[in-house]
Structure 1
Amino acid sequence: MYIYLFNAKQELPKEYVNGPADPATFMSIDQLRIATVYSRIKDFLFFIGIPWEWAIYLLILGLGLSASFLSIAKRVSKKSFLVQSGIYVAILSVFVTILQFPLYYYSYKVSRDYGINIQSVSSWLADKGKGFLLDLFLTIPMVWLLYVMLRKSPKRWWLWFWLISIPLTVLLFFIQPVIIDPIFNDFQYLQDQNLKEDILALARKADIPTDQVYQVNMSKKTTALNAYVTGIGANARIVLWDTTLSKLNKDEILFIMAHEMGHYVYRHVYWMLLGFILSSLFILYLVNKLINWLVKKYGHLWRIKSVGDISSLPLFLLVLSILTFLISPIENTISREAERAADAYAISITHDKEGAISAFQKLAVESLVEPNPPKIVKFFLYSHPTMVERIYTLNKYE
């Protein structure tokens, strides 16, 4: 991957050359070089991080550490399976996080060196700590529930666990904008009243029943630009980063907001939720088949007595991570189509081709996005079309 990423030359399609989608028309040679190197480093860290995560789980299993973690949990609480689950998950999470931390920190340092992340180390560590505790808070009851199902129904646990997870998943989507997101960032109503009225006028044109637009204070953490739609039902929100507000002009912002409204109009969040629920059923079924085979074949080496033994959790996480990685290109392909639909909606409602094109050009420059990444990177990492593809498509709009 290193040789591929840092030596492969990505040719720009001939039809893009000298047009607005050509990076040479909106980026200097230095800007393009810096964006390319920065993006390739981040891509390489991804392709290191995934197998490193798998290696950590294999290390925990191969050295019998998982069984040792469970022994510690049982010594602390001899009767309560919920307490045992909590202690085991906490020990496992701390161990995995310690081994993953060097890659996390190096990724942060690279972002700092290239001026994208402007957080202090203490602020960055605080966010990582919040994320760790939040993950622990959500994971412990799910793991407990998983192994209760495994013990009560060894053959159909995957189906019962999936059914129980559906309302929990919907609840998580619902509360994310109002409970989870504010833990990490400060949200407020959009302060620019004139811009707010223009955005709400677009919303009325799109029949979106809203009277608010949100901005989030990201300028204390990053120089990158972004906007997004999140949540479902009454908690659905369209959010602008304050960096986007400060670096794009009104026409460019209106196009970005129209794009996010396109997601709302086409109910992409609901489709994403449905897709996640359906794909999780398929994945859990495969996990069931694979983990039973693996425990029968290698369980004695890993000191795992049965699949229902909580010490099998690293194996669950390993298989789940591999399957998620393998289906990620499918998810990315579907997501890219949704983004294209949102782009088409935005340009059809604003009729501002120039504002749309300049918005994406500035996004590429300010966020150090490689406009035309290698194909493997796009295949595994890109949930959005590349910048050159989006600009080229918008330029053809009439």
Structure 2
Amino acid sequence: MFYYLYVGSDNTIPTSFEGTAADPKLFMTKEEQILSTDFSRLKNLLFFLSIPVDWMIYLFVLIFGISVYFNRLSKEVTRFFFLQSALYVFLLSLVSSVISFPLSYISRKVSLEYGITSQSFTGWMRDYTISFWVSFIMTALTVWVIYIFMRRNEKRWWFHVWLISIPFTVFLMFIQPVVIDPLYNDFYSLKDKELETKILELADRADIPAEHVYEVNMSEKTNALNAYVTGIGSNLRIVLWDTTLNKLEDEETLFVMAHEIGHYVKHHLYLNVIGSIVLTFFGLYFGSKLFHFMLNRYGERLSIRRHNELASLPVLLLIFSLLSFAASPITNAVSRYHEHEADVYAIEMTQDKEAAIHAFQKLTATGLSEVNPPLLVKWLRYGHPTMLERLVFLETYE
């Protein structure tokens, strides 16, 4: 990947698009273009390093008997299986966090040096700690459920876990905007009431049951721009980062919000839930087959005597991580299609090409994004169309 990113790939735009709205020379300085290339390469390299690091952590705790030790220790501390699984997951999460921390810190340092991140180390550590505990709680509950069913039915456990995951997925989408998101940032009603009225008019035209537009103080953490519509039912929220409000004109902000509204109108939120449920079904099915195959072949060598003991968890996590990575080109392609649909909806709703183009150009320059990333990076990382694709579409839209 290092060779591919720095030598074997080309991120310049095709000569046929020079002088068009997608040409970074028209909306980025020479320095910004250089910084964009360097920053993107570094962030992509860190991404492709972080994935095998996770795999190596799982292999490390398996090969050196750490997983077996954690399992034995949890049984010695308590006889209640729920507490055993919680203690095991805590210890495994702690080891994983300690090993992966340097890479996370380097990623933050890179973003800080390139002017993308503005968050203090104290604030970053606070978010890092919150993420650890949120992840621990959700993982501990998930592991407990998986191994409860695994103990009851060693062959069909995956199907029962999948059934339980359906209401949990929906519930998570329902509570995220009002329970999880506020743990990281402060949300408040949009201060610019005139702009809020315009956004709510767009929402009303789209039959979105929204009474408020929320502003979030992301300028304490980043200089990048963003906006989104999240949640379902009564917990649906329209959210704008304050950085977006500070750097975009009202017409440009309205296009961005029309894009987010497009996700709601096109039912992308619900399609994502359905897609997640379907992927979970196949992931659990194939994961269970690989899980039993690997333990039948290597279990004795790893001192894992039974499939349904907690010591086997790193094997399961390794398999799910591998399957998730293998499926990422497909899930990213679906996401890019949804994002393009939202772009189409937004330009049809606003009918303001100039504002739309300027919005994406500012998003690119502010975030030091690549206009035309390498193909492998697009397949494995991009859930949005490239800026080249988006800007060319908008410029040629009639």
Tell me the TM-score normalised to structure 1 length: 0.98
**C-alpha separation in 1, matches of 2:253 and 2:225:** 11
Deviates more, 1:346-355 or 1:133-142: 133-142
**C-alpha separation in 1, matches of 2:188 and 2:318:** 39
Deviates more, 1:26-35 or 1:383-392: 26-35
Gaps of 5+ in 1: none
Equivalences for residues 63-82 of structure 1 within 5 A: 63-77=64-78, 79-82=79-82
Q: Which amino acid aligns with 1:390?
A: R
Which residue matches 2:248? 248
Which residue matches 1:136? 136
**C-alpha separation in 1, matches of 2:58 and 2:326:** 17
**C-alpha separation in 1, matches of 2:162 and 2:374:** 36
Which residue matches 2:109? 109
Which residue matches 1:35? 36
Equivalences for residues 1-398 of structure 1 within 5 A: 1-7=1-7, 8-77=9-78, 79-398=79-398
**C-alpha separation in 1, matches of 2:15 and 2:44:** 25
**C-alpha separation in 1, matches of 2:228 and 2:303:** 46
**C-alpha separation in 1, matches of 2:305 and 2:273:** 36
How far residue 56 of structure 1 moved from its aligned partner, in angstroms, is 0.9
**C-alpha separation in 1, matches of 2:293 and 2:343:** 45
**C-alpha separation in 2, matches of 1:184 and 1:131:** 9
How far residue 11 of structure 1 moved from its aligned partner, in angstroms, is 4.1
How far residue 236 of structure 1 moved from its aligned partner, in angstroms, is 1.3
Q: Is the 8 A contact 2:118 2:223 kept in 1?
A: yes
**C-alpha separation in 2, matches of 1:195 and 1:232:** 24
3-state secondary structure, aligned to 1:238: strand
How far residue 202 of structure 1 moved from its aligned partner, in angstroms, is 1.4
How far residue 31 of structure 1 moved from its aligned partner, in angstroms, is 0.6
Q: Percent identity?
A: 48
How far residue 19 of structure 1 moved from its aligned partner, in angstroms, is 0.5
**C-alpha separation in 2, matches of 1:182 and 1:264:** 22
Q: Which amino acid aligns with 1:249?
A: E
* Deviation readout 1:125-179 (Å, 9 max, x if unpaired): 1110011011111111211111010010111100000001111111001000000
Deviates more, 1:275-284 or 1:11-20: 11-20
How far residue 207 of structure 1 moved from its aligned partner, in angstroms, is 2.4
Q: Is the 8 A contact 2:13 2:371 kept in 1?
A: no
3-state secondary structure, aligned to 2:215: strand
Report how many aligned residue pairs link the two structures: 397
3-state secondary structure, aligned to 1:208: coil
3-state secondary structure, aligned to 1:228: strand
How far residue 204 of structure 1 moved from its aligned partner, in angstroms, is 2.0
Q: Is the 8 A contact 1:189 1:213 kept in 2?
A: yes
Q: Is the 8 A contact 1:23 1:388 kept in 2?
A: no
**C-alpha separation in 2, matches of 1:40 and 1:53:** 21
**C-alpha separation in 2, matches of 1:9 and 1:89:** 43
Q: Which amino acid aligns with 1:5?
A: L
3-state secondary structure, aligned to 1:341: helix
3-state secondary structure, aligned to 1:85: helix
* Deviation readout 1:63-96 (Å, 9 max, x if unpaired): 111001111111111x211111111111111011
Deviates more, 1:132-141 or 1:153-162: 132-141
3-state secondary structure, aligned to 1:214: strand
Q: Which amino acid aligns with 1:39?
A: S
3-state secondary structure, aligned to 1:301: coil
Q: Is the 8 A contact 2:210 2:237 kept in 1?
A: no
Q: Is the 8 A contact 1:335 1:383 kept in 2?
A: yes
**C-alpha separation in 2, matches of 1:141 and 1:247:** 41
3-state secondary structure, aligned to 1:284: helix
* Deviation readout 1:74-126 (Å, 9 max, x if unpaired): 1111x211111111111111011100011000001111111111111111011
**C-alpha separation in 2, matches of 1:226 and 1:285:** 36
Q: Is the 8 A contact 1:263 1:338 kept in 2?
A: yes
Q: Which amino acid aligns with 1:23?
A: P
Q: Is the 8 A contact 1:372 1:387 kept in 2?
A: yes
How far residue 314 of structure 1 moved from its aligned partner, in angstroms, is 0.4
**C-alpha separation in 1, matches of 2:111 and 2:11:** 23
Gaps of 5+ in 2: none
How far residue 293 of structure 1 moved from its aligned partner, in angstroms, is 0.5
Q: Which amino acid aligns with 1:22?
A: D
**C-alpha separation in 1, matches of 2:395 and 2:300:** 61
